[in-house]
Amino acid sequence: MASGAGGANVAATCIQPENALSTVAILLSAFVLSVTALLVFIWSQRSSMFDKSAKAAEVIFAPGEIGTREDPAAGTALGLGNAELVDRARADASTAPLVFFFFCCAFAWLLVASAAGLTASIRLHEPDWLAHQPWLTFGRIRTIHLNAVAYGWAPMAGLGIALFVIPRLLKTPLVGAPFAFLGAALWNAALIAGLGAIAVGLSDGLEWLEIPWQIDILFVIGGALVGVPLVLTLVHRRVEHLYVSVWYMGCALFWFPVLFLVANVPGLHRGVQQAAMNWWFGHNVLGLFYTPLALASVYYFLPKIIGRPVQSYNLSLLGFWGLAFFYGQVGGHHLIGGPVPGWLISLSIVQSMMMIIPVLAFTVNQHQTLKGHLDALRTSPTLRFIGFGGLMYTASSIQGSFEALRIVNAVAHFTHFTVAHAHLGLYGFVTMVFFGAIYFIVPRVSGREWPSPGLIAAHFWFAAIGITIYFVSLTIGGWLQGEAMLDGSRPFMDSVTLTAPYLKWRSVGGALMAVGHVIFVVHFVMLLVGRSAGRVQPALLRNF
């Protein structure tokens, strides 16, 4: 790290040795102190949880329900004699129209984002295609893709899932749904305006924060309105224990507004400081918004479907507080080698590596829970998507930790390698988990089964093979690109020409993913128009 710190910026080389030493000492002691404090904090959270039969983990089951698999099957296994199950049915009914609305929006943005992403990908190897249309130039259509995912698909699907799951976990019908309806309408109006602004070239100019701040005001109001029923329901809850999923979803819903507000205040940020803020936001919107929403879904649906409480409550605590503490500080690794203070970069690299702790805690916990129930991965559509997503969470997080190391970052930074990593996280993990959750929830809120197990399997394989091709090709291409750029004896143009075949493969992978999404949406429309009439059994997968 010492050589890297010298390389980080010119100013760092001017620091006197004693100063450098004291900086390291301060950083080190601050780090040790904060990790100790974190462990004490986690310990305090597990008070009264010393007994092995962690009651909090069983809160998602009605009495006697452990051992019963719940899968998308409207009406099955609902013995109305059980008061808890009646409560759950009431909670589901209270959220149905709202969740349905969120999912419809999510589907629309998924298609928009797929089309924009595919166009951007093709434009990188066919640069003169559609060149006369300003809004289709790479710099704009790529940005439309990112924003349609970041503010369209991901939050609409994630918040829809949260609105469904939270009343179930709190055993309380949703309070104040009209607020969320209004909020979602405002949010979507804002996104339409925002994408339009980007298309005509109005942009705030910061990655992840392109939408003009005037429009951001609508997002803030819309988002706050969506949060109202979740807070009201929390206040009216009828359970004592807050389940793991509630920790993740609850905190995500408070973290995101802070991130979004601080990042978008006009005139507050400037120059290099703005760059540091930019990546504090850019990484935290992934780590403290989409990731917790998706992890909450895994923590709820995986145990629910296999009918077995999550293995270790203590590991859940470690995973949650570890993520909350470490993830927030990793953003600076996007600026390694850049003109920002050296200590900030070092801090972010250290915390990126520390992220391995919560990731392993999550992985071991889910693996232990799933042990002996692997057959459910074959039959349950939800579990198959969520299982894939969970694995990709581990893979992308571990990859991300190592990518922050200077030696890896020197090659991977500024290349398509990073783009591949981003898609492993936001698609392989978050999006796949959301797909799985939607397969579970839609039959519950619509009262209809999915019409065709074959279409679910097709969606899964198109998405899984698509992201695999996407990730593998861009990872290899990006790494070779980085090595070419680091070799001063090779002309820069080498790093461009060598990526050409990999960029084409990326378009192939992207096209497969898009086909999967079209199948998904068509299947949803079939369900709406009543093609599942007569199906009373859950749409479980048989072969594939």
Residues 54-73 that bind other proteins (CB under 8 A): 56
Sign of CA dihedral 213, 217, 222, 228: positive
Q: Name the minimum Å distance from CB 515 to other proteins.
A: 25
Contact 121, 416 (CB under 8 A): no
Interaction of residue 250 with other proteins, rule CB under 8 A: yes
Residues 447-486 that bind other proteins (CB under 8 A): 485-486
Q: Which stretch binds other proteins (CB under 8 A): 65-73, 96-104, 128-136, 518-526?
A: 128-136
Taking the C-alpha atoms of residue 321 and residue 317, their distance in angstroms, rounded to an integer, is: 6
Closer by beta carbon to other proteins, 500 or else 522: 500
Write the DSSP string, 251-275: HHHHHHHHHHHHHH-TTS--HHHHH
User: Residues 98, 99, 275, 438: which binds other proteins (CB under 8 A)?
Assistant: 275
Residues 495-514 that bind other proteins (CB under 8 A): 495-497, 500, 503
Contacting residues for 396 by C-beta, under 8 A, at least 6 apart: 421, 424, 425, 428, 429
Residues 278-297 that bind other proteins (CB under 8 A): 278-280, 284, 288
Taking the C-alpha atoms of residue 380 and residue 368, their distance in angstroms, rounded to an integer, is: 18
Interaction of residue 206 with other proteins, rule CB under 8 A: yes
In terms of C-beta density within 10 A (0-12 exposed, 13-18 middle, 19 or more buried), how is residue 127 classed?
exposed
Taking the C-alpha atoms of residue 510 and residue 45, their distance in angstroms, rounded to an integer, is: 43
Residues 184-203 that bind other proteins (CB under 8 A): 201-203
Interaction of residue 404 with other proteins, rule CB under 8 A: no
Taking the C-alpha atoms of residue 44 and residue 387, their distance in angstroms, rounded to an integer, is: 31
User: Residues 48, 53, 537, 543: which binds other proteins (CB under 8 A)?
Assistant: 48
Residues 129-148 that bind other proteins (CB under 8 A): 131-134, 137-140, 142-143
Interaction of residue 344 with other proteins, rule CB under 8 A: yes
Contacting residues for 436 by C-beta, under 8 A, at least 6 apart: 297, 301, 381, 382, 383, 384, 385, 386, 389
Q: Name the minimum Å distance from CB 174 to other proteins.
A: 16
Interaction of residue 255 with other proteins, rule CB under 8 A: yes
Residues 69-98 that bind other proteins (CB under 8 A): none
Closer by beta carbon to other proteins, 68 or else 274: 274
Q: Name the minimum Å distance from CB 482 to other proteins.
A: 9
Interaction of residue 119 with other proteins, rule CB under 8 A: no
Interaction of residue 176 with other proteins, rule CB under 8 A: no
Interaction of residue 238 with other proteins, rule CB under 8 A: no
Interaction of residue 399 with other proteins, rule CB under 8 A: no
User: Residues 96, 272, 476, 528: which binds other proteins (CB under 8 A)?
Assistant: 272
* Tokens (6 digits) for 276: 């540091």
Residue-wise over 481-493: b if at least 16 C-beta within 10 A, else e? bbbbbeeeeeeee
For 330, other C-beta atoms within 10 Å of its C-beta total: 26
Contact 542, 379 (CB under 8 A): yes
Interaction of residue 271 with other proteins, rule CB under 8 A: yes
Q: Name the minimum Å distance from CB 160 to other proteins.
A: 22
Interaction of residue 530 with other proteins, rule CB under 8 A: no
Contact 432, 492 (CB under 8 A): no
Taking the C-alpha atoms of residue 322 and residue 361, their distance in angstroms, rounded to an integer, is: 9
Q: How far apart are the first and last CA of the chain?
A: 48
User: Residues 16, 50, 81, 240: which binds other proteins (CB under 8 A)?
Assistant: 240
User: Residues 62, 108, 111, 124: which binds other proteins (CB under 8 A)?
Assistant: 124
Three-state secondary structure call for residue 448: coil
Interaction of residue 488 with other proteins, rule CB under 8 A: yes
Q: Which stretch binds other proteins (CB under 8 A): 2-10, 62-70, 453-461, 507-515?
A: 2-10
Closer by beta carbon to other proteins, 64 or else 201: 201
Interaction of residue 325 with other proteins, rule CB under 8 A: yes
Contact 303, 310 (CB under 8 A): yes
Closer by beta carbon to other proteins, 66 or else 486: 486
Sign of CA dihedral 203, 205, 208, 209: negative
By rule CB under 8 A, what count of residues binds other proteins? 99
Closer by beta carbon to other proteins, 44 or else 537: 44
Interaction of residue 347 with other proteins, rule CB under 8 A: yes
Q: Which stretch binds other proteins (CB under 8 A): 41-49, 295-303, 374-382, 461-469?
A: 41-49
Taking the C-alpha atoms of residue 3 and residue 26, their distance in angstroms, rounded to an integer, is: 19
Q: Name the minimum Å distance from CB 402 to other proteins.
A: 18
Taking the C-alpha atoms of residue 398 and residue 393, their distance in angstroms, rounded to an integer, is: 8
* DSSP secondary structure code for residue 531 in this structure: T
